[in-house]
Amino acid sequence: MGKPTGFMEYKREVSAAQPPLERIRHFDEFHTHLPIEKQQLQGARCMECGVPFCQYGQMLCGMASGCPLHNLVPEWNDLVYHGNWEQAYYRLKKTSSFPEFTSRVCPALCENACTCGLNGDPVSTKENEYAIIEYAYEHGYAAAKPPKVRTGKKVAVVGSGPSGLAAADQLNKRGHSVTVFERFDRVGGLLMYGIPNMKLEKHIIDRKIKIMEEEGVTFLTGVDVGRDVKPSKLLHDFDRIVLACGASNPRDITAPGRDAQGIYFAVDFLRANTKSLLDSQFADKKYVDTRGKHVIIIGGGDTGNDCVGTAIRHGAKSVTQIEMMPKAPDRRAENNPWPEWPKICKTDYGQEEAIALYGHDPRIYESTVKEFLKDEKGNLKAVRIVKLSWEKDPATGRMASREIEGSEQVLDADIVLIAAGFLGSQKYVTDAFKVALDPRTNVKTEPGRYKSSVDNVFVTGDMHRGQSLVVWAIREGREAAREVDEDLMGYTNLVVQ
């Protein structure tokens, strides 16, 4: 696959990012990608490794190794190298519903499992994927391809995030009539309002939705199923229902002073920001303005980093990110060998921007908020944090934290953004459909299956597995579609992997 000696002849090259102090002036994507000739040489670096862990996509030591979609990475890397972009697109689309999304927002599990990366730099697979899909749009390969035959079956998909879109796309390709219900004003779910514009420009989503509409999928926005529409009506009007509402129940912080004005959930902060950007370029002022404010972000994951980048772009006076866990090592530990997912410290775009702007890393590790401090009007003015020590609990074998006496400190805070993850599906939806839940409040199914406890109702994505990556949501959507199709028709020819 690729050129047999390519990984020795060519160095890894990736797109150039705008300098941090330049890109914080706008909310657009900020990478300049390689010219096509150089991108083809990156395909040449894919080696004949024998066992392509890049497409393995299974769990090793509790974390995924390789692509959960089982993308045929060596095959399309080889096609990129030889300049056969059309066939590269068709091989990519065989397993991937939305490479235009994953090539922008996926953390590249494929690259972290790449054999070439064991003793050097991995193949730039994510950027090869970007090149393939953008070339396909430019040359017409990605145009709409409506199904030639319709089955007469109708399926409702509730939720238009990556999992719901993947299920809708596959079921429509099979010939079923699919209607997608979205409670917000734009299609895309997490992709639209959970991921900032600088990571995924929203016209990229609109471009794909337009194609899906041309292929026959119907999208209804501003319809909140469970409130505006009763499940009984959907069960009457459609042959099957797929719930893809996400794990949109945010985890709260219950420290004293939580009722202070100026505390927001990260998901609400990011949604309001993107909506205001798209509606009016912020002219409507319907967003949380961080200009001149001290911003504290509770949570060290991707969502926390997105809050860092967004707050900086609005002109925050300072940004601090509170992380409960210890700082991960800069290099793989001996007990974390390849091809396991590398448990190392990642400095993402938002943190890079904070370092460039403020002169230091915004993250404070092994700490938690002990109290929110208010002024006489009830507005947030500071947070009291305390350092944590992590020790193994001899009874359970799990790591547990304890506060370090005398380690408290007070940080100025005008705005706090809670990015502490999500607890599961929202109660009003699951109550409306009367589906059984597991102990984590995800919709319960048999292991490896997608059918809920209610006849003709299926579930997929974060609502099924809990908060996860976009690539896992897409895989779940494809697998759920296959199960729905088989349930409707008695057999299925939908390809999942």
Instruction: Indicate if 263-418 has the same CATH topology as 6-139.
Output: no
pLDDT of residue 22: 98
pLDDT of residue 396: 85
Residue 318, judged by CB atoms within 10 A of its CB (0-12, 13-18, 19+), counts as buried
Residue 149, judged by CB atoms within 10 A of its CB (0-12, 13-18, 19+), counts as exposed
Is the Cβ–Cβ distance between 198 and 27 less than 8 Å? yes
CA 110 – CA 68 distance, rounded (Å)? 9
The CATH superfamily holding the domain 154-248+423-489 is FAD/NAD(P)-binding domain (3.50.50.60)
User: Is it the case that residue 497 has pLDDT exceeding 70?
Assistant: no
Tokens of 40: 């083809």
SS3 state at 384: strand
CATH of domain 6-139: 1.10.1060.10
- pLDDT tens digits for range 204-235: 999 999 999 999 999 999 999 999 999 999 99
Tokens of 336: 């974390």
Is the Cβ–Cβ distance between 14 and 39 less than 8 Å? no
User: Is it the case that residue 2 has pLDDT exceeding 80?
Assistant: no
Cβ-proximal residues to 376 (8 Å cutoff; 6+ apart), any chain: none
* % of the chain residues with pLDDT over 90: 92
Rounded to a whole number of angstroms, the distance between the first and last alpha carbons of the chain is: 20
The length of the chain in residues reads 497
Cβ-proximal residues to 37 (8 Å cutoff; 6+ apart), any chain: none
CA 461 – CA 450 distance, rounded (Å)? 10
CA 226 – CA 124 distance, rounded (Å)? 44
- Strands (E) in 52-153, as ranges, are 58-60, 63-65
DSSP structure class, residue 494: -
Q: What angle, rounded to 10 degrees, do the helices at 202-214 and 162-174 form?
A: 20
CA 389 – CA 402 distance, rounded (Å)? 5
SS3 state at 440: coil
- pLDDT tens digits for range 63-86: 889 999 999 999 999 999 999 999
| Domain range annotation of the chain | 6-139, 154-248+423-489, 263-418
Q: Is the peptide bond before 339 cis (omega within 30 degrees of 0)?
A: yes
CA 327 – CA 295 distance, rounded (Å)? 21
Is the Cβ–Cβ distance between 134 and 66 less than 8 Å? no
158 bridge partner residues: 181, 243
pLDDT of residue 48: 82
Exposed e or buried b for every residue in 55-82, given b needs 16+ CB within 10 A?
Answer: bbbeeeeeebbbbbbbbbbbbbbbbbbe
37 bridge partner residues: none
- pLDDT tens digits for range 340-360: 999 999 999 999 999 999 999
- pLDDT tens digits for range 131-140: 999 999 999 9
CA 116 – CA 3 distance, rounded (Å)? 13
- pLDDT tens digits for range 13-24: 999 999 999 999
The letter for the amino acid at 95 is T
Give the model's confidence band at 259: pLDDT under 50 very low, under 70 low, under 90 confident, else very high: very high
- pLDDT tens digits for range 285-332: 999 999 999 999 999 999 999 999 999 999 999 999 999 999 999 999
Tokens of 496: 């999942």
Is the Cβ–Cβ distance between 295 and 335 less than 8 Å? no
Average pLDDT rounded to a whole number, residues 487-494: 96
pLDDT of residue 392: 87
Rounded to whole angstroms, what are the CA distances from 42 to 74, 407, 439?
Answer: 12, 49, 46
What average pLDDT does the chain have? 96
- Select from 3.50.50.60, 1.10.287.1040, 3.30.930.10, 3.40.50.2300 the CATH code of 263-418: 3.50.50.60
SS3 state at 368: strand
pLDDT of residue 74: 95
pLDDT of residue 63: 86
User: How many other β-carbons are positioned within 10 Å of the β-carbon of residue 277?
Assistant: 18
- pLDDT tens digits for range 5-64: 999 999 999 999 999 999 999 999 999 999 999 999 999 999 888 899 999 998 888 888
pTM (global) more than 0.85: yes
Is the Cβ–Cβ distance between 53 and 70 less than 8 Å? no
Tokens 């359970």 sit on residue: 396
Containing 402, the helix (H) or strand (E) segment is: strand 399-403
- pLDDT tens digits for range 189-201: 999 999 999 999 9
DSSP structure class, residue 220: E
Give the model's confidence band at 1: pLDDT under 50 very low, under 70 low, under 90 confident, else very high: low
